[in-house]
Amino acid sequence: MMPSKIAILSHVLPPSWSGQSMVLFRLLADWPADRYCLLSIRDYNRDDAEPNPDGLACAKLPANYHCVGEKHLFRYGRNLFVRLVKNPVNLVRETLRRANSIQAVVTEENCLCLAACSGDLIDIPAGYLAAKRLGIPFVVYMFDDYARVYQEPIQRRFAKAVWNRIALSQPVVIVPNEFLRRRYVRQYHLDPVVIANPLGEMPAEKKAFANRSTGLRVVYTGALYDAHYDAVVNLVEALKLIGPPAKLDIYTACSAENLRNHGICGPVTIHPHVPHAEAGRLQREADVLFLPLAFHSPFPRIIQTSAPGKMGEYLASGTPILVHAPADSFVSWYFRRNQCGIVVDREEPRLLAQALARLSEDAALCEQVTANARQCALKDFGLEQARERFQRVFEKWVPPTALAQAA
């Protein structure tokens, strides 16, 4: 039988609620189930594979799911996994084990191409080894900069070494924005394909804005970690300068205690993570959406090329966006270049307070930036455009008519 499938390897897959899972769902939702299979270190065939069913981002895809993780990693818990990845010898052994598992699945499914996504330390090198052994094309989907995202020294050295080796083979690479593409062109002499994290359906336009003399309700939805903390603290300080009733509502899976430990407390309410559809409603009902990136993080070069998965949804929401991120970041560059939000790229709460005041008092400004934002959402984050680019990556191995054909 002629090979006709593409294997896609990712540490998270639909229906998990992460942004990476949602992107994969949107790109693959119109593919016939017999044209691809899905591989992950998590066993999505188990009834309890998704621990947070109330927060599911999407449906499970109809293709075959395969688990390529070692069972002992899950049987004995996270402590063993941490010891494993901190030991370089065991790290190499686990990479070889996973490569064997991936190779077996790809052979069983009769796949002609393997695409590995970033997000897990071992997936990309293990996928590369499996593809090389089988003599099939290898595609890397970089949701983040794999060689720079890990902070533990052994993991960082491992990621850098294996990626330098893989880059020499000139794999096909997908990146989410032009900044990361430029870095890979300059440093690795690759020519990545840019596929922005696509949004779903375009929501209806919001009603006309009105001047507000009272404070704004600022909303943030999504994960919060080292890539965001100090920027969020700056906003909290700005809200203190403004005074009540201005406030920040955060909807996240992060614990309130953890955020308080990082100084995120005061005129802020921490809400639990909400399903994707609910997050969209909250974004549309907010007065201002906050898009932060840290100024002092363990990974400043990651911040430069970061493209938050929520960007498309934020732009399409019809709600003014306040960006607080370093001046050399992709996010600040994009919003400033397209005039689709208010950008504060200096660590000064006073400037954030002034920006909020402008959004509170200038309805015409709000209408202009949100109109620009919705145009950007359609132009740069449209689903059909992303699907077309994603399909084009694989056209040389699978005819486009086969990929586009309904299941």
Q: What are the structural domains of the chain?
A: 5-198+383-404 (3.40.50.2000), 217-380 (3.40.50.2000)
Looking at this protein, which amino acid is placed at residue 326? P
C-alpha distance from residue 89 to each of 2, 157, 196 (Å): 38, 13, 37
- Residues 322 and 181: their CA atoms lie apart, in Å, by 25
Phi and psi, residue 247, nearest 5°? -155, 165
79 three-state secondary structure: helix
The sign one gets for the Cα dihedral 95, 97, 101, 107 is positive
Residue 151's pLDDT is: 82
Residues 6+ apart with CB under 8 A from 261: none
Q: Would you call the peptide bond into 245 cis, given omega within 30 degrees of 0 as the criterion?
A: yes
* Confidence (pLDDT) at 75: 40
3-state secondary structure at position 13: coil
β-strands 5-9, 36-40: how paired? parallel
Q: Which pLDDT score, from 0 to 100, does residue 166 have?
A: 97
Supply the pLDDT for residue 406. 42
- Can you read off the two tokens belonging to residue 181? 């593409």
Give residue 370's pLDDT.
96
Whole-prediction pTM: 0.88
Query: Coil, helix or strand for 26?
Result: helix
DSSP labels, 357-407 = HHHHH-HHHHHHHHHHHHHHHHHHS-HHHHHHHHHHHHTTTS-HHHHHS--
With CA atoms as reference, report the closest residue to 117 among 176, 170, 54. Answer: 176
Residue for token digits 């049987």?
75
User: CA of 384: how far to CAs of 128, 140, 270, in Å?
Assistant: 29, 21, 35
| Closest by Cα among 206, 293, 288, 308 to 248 | 288
Per-residue pLDDT of the chain (407 residues; tens, 9 = 90+): 445 799 999 999 999 878 899 999 999 999 999 999 999 999 999 865 554 444 455 789 999 999 998 544 444 344 544 555 567 788 888 999 999 999 999 999 999 999 999 999 999 999 999 999 999 999 999 999 999 988 888 899 999 999 999 999 999 999 999 999 999 999 999 999 999 999 988 888 776 666 665 568 999 999 999 999 999 999 999 999 998 889 999 999 899 999 999 999 999 999 998 888 899 999 999 999 999 999 999 889 999 999 998 999 999 999 999 999 999 999 999 999 999 999 999 999 999 999 999 999 999 999 999 999 999 999 999 999 999 999 999 987 765 555 555 44
Specify the pLDDT at position 268. 96
Instruction: Report DSSP state, residue 53.
Output: G
